[in-house]
Amino acid sequence: MASVTLDKVNKVFGSTHIIKDVDLNIGNGEFVVFVGPSGCGKSTLLRLIAGLESISDGELCIGDSVVNELPPRERGVGMVFQSYALYPHMTVYENMAFGLKLAKMVKETVDDRVMATARILQLEELLQRKPKELSGGQRQRVAMGRAMAREPRILLFDEPLSNLDASLRVQMRNEIARLHQRLESTMIYVTHDQVEAMTLADKIVVLNAGRIEQVGSPQELYQRPATKFVAGFIGSPTMNFMPATLAASGREGCRVHSPGLHELALPQDATDHADGAALTLGVRPEHLRLDEACGDNAFEIVNVEYLGNEVYVYLEAGDTLLIHRSEAPSKWQTGQRVALTPDPEHVHLFDAQDRALPAMRTRAAA
């Protein structure tokens, strides 16, 4: 168990700048999840921490020591890869013992460590099997066991569940959460999966093109995204965005126009922006209300998806396509025309640079 600190960390491959000025503090025993689109640098950042890639510029500390020059095996870090990378000719026992033997540990210690790890991961019955005789989930556990047996201070996971089917993912997600509670070790976890990120993380790091967009708890990122990028990335189905114009702003909040909607009075502070400024309005699918109002039903329902417990309604007006989510059953049908009202308490506004406008209260408190 140890903290990890990145101070202006950069990585350049040839002439390509991949990781850009990353500052990050990961506390002792914290569960941190990296998310971001493909190619944004998640695996690279993990490999820099593990020591599998060298840092081009900046400082990386594990605990109180700078580890920039320390080889991977001396960093006290264990890594679990998406591909598992198990040795096919070795048994489960040998796979887990391999790294320990390499570290010249005496046989009794190797045996104790492997058996203790196997007990935690419920692999005791499988120790003499080869990887090809295991299910996907069991292989996954062996890969975790191999990393854990070395008793690393930090466990790194790079999309460890992406090869598993949906129900096994749920089961393994649960096991990883419980493992973290039991081991209390620092864990850094890369995933594409929204649900894994939201459910496992104490802290989510959103990466975009090699930079950190925002760091926060799942709830903070969901409720108060700092940028349009984070707003669109966290949450599924994704947040709806609509063009908007600032009509007025003052100490009580602001008023905003958006095509197809009634003028909205919102609690954001827009006093830094001129009336008429172009903004983007963001609202999550669960924070929209649909009505068959008389008169200006600006939106047409173009598709209705029934998912059992909830219903997604797709709405169109001109070039704008929106999604509405509600609990099943739903009375809405394709072809109907409706009026749409966002819940003002849950509307987000973004400026021309895609930064979120602050809430009035936040500024008063600051």
Nearest Cα to 280, choosing from 208, 362, 359, 348? 348
Q: Residue 40 binds which one of ligand ATP, Mg ion, none, with CB within 5 to 8 A depending on kind?
A: ligand ATP
Is 286 in a helix, a strand, or coil? Answer: helix
**Among 36-44, 58-66, 227-235, 293-301, the segment contacting Mg ion (CB under 5 A):** 36-44
Give the single-character DSSP code of 86.
-
Residue 43 interacting with Mg ion (CB under 5 A): yes
Q: Residue 306 binds which one of Mg ion, ligand ATP, none, with CB within 5 to 8 A depending on kind?
A: none
Nearest Cα to 86, choosing from 143, 161, 151, 155? 143
Rounded CA-CA distance 67/47 in Å is: 13
Residue 44 interacting with Mg ion (CB under 5 A): no
Q: Residue 276 binds which one of ligand ATP, Mg ion, none, with CB within 5 to 8 A depending on kind?
A: none
Query: Min. distance of Cβ 136 from Mg ion in angstroms?
Result: 19
Cα-Cα-Cα-Cα dihedral sign, residues 149, 203, 51, 61: negative
**Among 39-47, 64-72, 124-132, 255-263, the segment contacting Mg ion (CB under 5 A):** 39-47
Extract the tokens encoding 121. 């991961």
Q: Residue 38 binds which one of Mg ion, ligand ATP, none, with CB within 5 to 8 A depending on kind?
A: ligand ATP
Query: Min. distance of Cβ 304 from ligand ATP in angstroms?
Result: 32
Displacement of CA 318 from its chain's centroid (Å):
32
Residues near ligand ATP (CB under 6 A) are 13, 16, 18, 36, 38-44
Judged by beta carbon, residue 43 or residue 117, the one nearer Mg ion is 43
Query: Min. distance of Cβ 283 from ligand ATP in angstroms?
Result: 28
Query: Min. distance of Cβ 43 from Mg ion in angstroms?
Result: 3
Extract the tokens encoding 40. 């944004």
Query: Min. distance of Cβ 188 from ligand ATP in angstroms?
Result: 13
Extract the tokens encoding 349. 């506004």
Residues that bind Mg ion (CB under 5 A): 43
